[in-house]
């Protein structure tokens, strides 16, 4: 593929995360062996903290004696766009930590614990 004057290669898709200049720089770095890039960002704009809505417990009625209101903690992630949304029993997930930072048994224990309480964990490594 021949690059145009700004370093952009025709045929590559646009990215909601990186502009053409950033992608051209990534391509240059990869071409010169500085860094191996595997992806080009998100297809849609990435949600921001301003997009989150937290409903505190104080917005509902206070429980009275003999009265109990169910407090649901289950969360559905990806309901609008994913073919198979992720359902979590609790809105907490274990963040990714690379295999080199944790031992195999530690990563397995985190995975089993997350499954047992109904949440998720990520590996932190693309190849795992």
User: What whole-number distance in Å separates Cα of residue 94 and Cα of residue 111?
Assistant: 9
Partners of 94 in beta bridges: 121
Per-residue pLDDT of the chain (128 residues; tens, 9 = 90+): 455 555 556 666 778 888 888 888 877 877 777 664 456 666 677 778 888 777 766 666 666 655 566 678 888 889 898 899 988 888 888 888 776 778 888 888 988 999 998 888 887 765 54
How does DSSP classify residue 116? H
Query: How much is the pTM?
Result: 0.40
Nearest alpha-carbon partner for 20 in 29, 10, 34: 10
For the stretch 36-57, pLDDT in tens is 445 666 667 777 888 877 776 6
- Name 46's Cβ contacts closer than 8 Å, sequence gap at least 6: 16, 17
User: What whole-number distance in Å separates Cα of residue 107 and Cα of residue 96?
Assistant: 10
User: What whole-number distance in Å separates Cα of residue 126 and Cα of residue 15?
Assistant: 20
């Amino acid at each position: 593929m021949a690059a145009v004057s700004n370093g952009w290669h025709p045929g590559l898709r646009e990215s909601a995360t990186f502009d053409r200049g950033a992608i051209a720089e990534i391509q240059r770095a990869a071409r010169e062996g500085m860094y191996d890039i595997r992806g080009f960002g998100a297809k849609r704009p990435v949600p921001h903290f301003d997009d989150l809505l937290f409903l505190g417990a104080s917005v509902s009625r206070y429980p009275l004696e003999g009265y109990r209101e169910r407090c649901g903690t289950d969360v559905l992630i990806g309901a609008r766009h994913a073919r198979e949304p992720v359902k979590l029993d609790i809105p907490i997930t274990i963040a990714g930590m690379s295999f080199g930072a944790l031992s195999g048994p530690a990563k397995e224990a985190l995975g089993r614990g997350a499954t047992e309480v109904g949440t998720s964990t990520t590996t932190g490594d693309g190849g795992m």
